[in-house]
Amino acid sequence: MAMNKQERKPASFPLLVRPYMRPPPREMPLNVLLVEDDDSDMMLTEMALEASNIYYSLRRLDDGTQVLPYLHHEPEYANRARPDVIFLDLTLPGKDGAQILSELKAEADLYGKMPIVILTGDRNCAFLAESDELSIPAYITKPCSTEKILNVLLAIRQAKRGI
């Protein structure tokens, strides 16, 4: 006995969506601003960030003169999110890292609590002897390892959550 098209109906099942079955909402990404002019150091840092398995959004600047315009949301950076952390190379074209830190310190009411992580190739960290007035919260020697990046990002994420 053959069924005609009108007799065949797809089975209908009610779609039940329970709250516990929905995927958990993703937390907001950690907004990372990387100020680095060397492409290979940038790639190594980005690989370490990727391997950290922390949800992040990365923006890169390759010239020290771009940092304050970025933070001030000047027209070319108007739609950029405020960074949760800045990874700052010390040797940059335009303005070096020490000049940028001094400028940020002068605007401490806006940027005083923003974590700034110095990226340096100086294994002796000689710059730390001169850094008392710069308030450097952390530094990482290059190349950046996943472990170093992960430790810094976990601490920043916990601070952001208020833990």
pLDDT digits over 14-68, tens only? 444 444 444 444 567 888 999 999 898 888 888 888 877 778 889 999 999 999 9
pTM for the structure as a whole: 0.74
Half-sphere exposure (Cβ direction) of 5: Cα atoms closer than 13 Å? 0
pLDDT in tens, 129-160: 555 545 566 677 777 777 887 788 777 777 77
Q: Which of 126, 101, 98 is nearest to 114 (CA)?
A: 101
Q: Any residues with CB less than 8 A from the CB of 62 and at least 6 apart, and which?
A: 35, 36, 37, 42, 92, 93
Report yes or no: 54 and 26 within 8 Å, Cβ to Cβ. Answer: no
Show me where the domains of the chain are located.
34-161
Which CATH architecture best describes the domain 34-161?
3-Layer(aba) Sandwich (3.40)
The pLDDT, as a whole number, for residue 14 is: 46
Q: Which of 66, 69, 72 is nearest to 37 (CA)?
A: 66
**What counts of helices (H) and strands (E) characterise the chain?**
5, 5
Q: Any residues with CB less than 8 A from the CB of 123 and at least 6 apart, and which?
A: 141
